[in-house]
Amino acid sequence: MSAKPKTTEPKLPVLKGQDAEDAVLEYLKRMNRPFGAVDVSANLKGAVPKTATQKILVALADKGEIVQKTYGKTTFFVANQANLEDMPAEKLAALEAEHKALEEENKALAAEVRTATTELAKLRNTPTDAELSVELQRTIGAVEKARARLQPLRSGAPLVTADELTQLDTEWARWRTEWVRRRKIFLTFWQMVTDALTPQEADELAEELGIEHDTLEHVAIERGPLCVPAGVQVLGKRRR
Kindly give the residue spans of alpha helices, DSSP state H, lying in 126-161: 129-155
Q: How far apart are CA 19 and CA 65, in angstroms?
A: 16
C-alpha distances in Å from residue 233, one per residue of 13, 44, 209 = 98, 92, 37
- Overall number of domains in the chain: 4
Q: Is residue 8 part of a domain?
A: no
Percent of the chain whose pLDDT exceeds 70: 88
Asked whether residue 49 carries a pLDDT value surpassing 60, the answer given is yes
Q: How far apart are CA 41 and CA 7, in angstroms?
A: 22
Instruction: Check: CB of residue 77 under 8 Å from CB of residue 35.
Output: yes
Q: Average of pLDDT values for 114-135?
A: 90
Render 101-128 in DSSP notation, one character per residue. HHHHHHHHHHHHHHHHHHHHHHHHHSPP
Range of the domain at 105: 86-125
Q: Which of 156, 177, 199 is the last residue of a domain?
A: 156
Q: Are residues 76 and 100 in the same domain?
A: no
Asked whether residue 157 carries a pLDDT value surpassing 90, the answer given is no
Cβ density class 79-113: b for 16+ within 10 Å, e for less: bbeeeeeeeeeeeeeeeeeeeeeeeeeeeeeeeee
Q: Is residue 36 part of a domain?
A: yes
Asked whether residue 78 carries a pLDDT value surpassing 50, the answer given is yes
Write the pLDDT tens digit of every residue in 51-63: 999 999 999 999 8
Per-residue pLDDT, 70: 87
Where are the strands (E) in the chain, listed by range? Answer: 66-71, 74-79
Q: Are residues 117 and 133 in the same domain?
A: no
Q: Is residue 237 part of a domain?
A: no
Asked whether residue 195 carries a pLDDT value surpassing 80, the answer given is yes
Per-residue pLDDT, 162: 81
pTM of the model: 0.35
Q: How far apart are CA 36 and CA 215, in angstroms?
A: 71
- Among 96-110, 131-145, 154-168, 176-190, where is mean pLDDT lowest? 154-168
Residue of 140, 139, 169, 157 lying closest to 230 (CA atoms):
169
Radius of gyration, CA atoms only, the chain: 43
Per-residue pLDDT, 230: 54
Q: Are residues 77 and 64 in the same domain?
A: yes
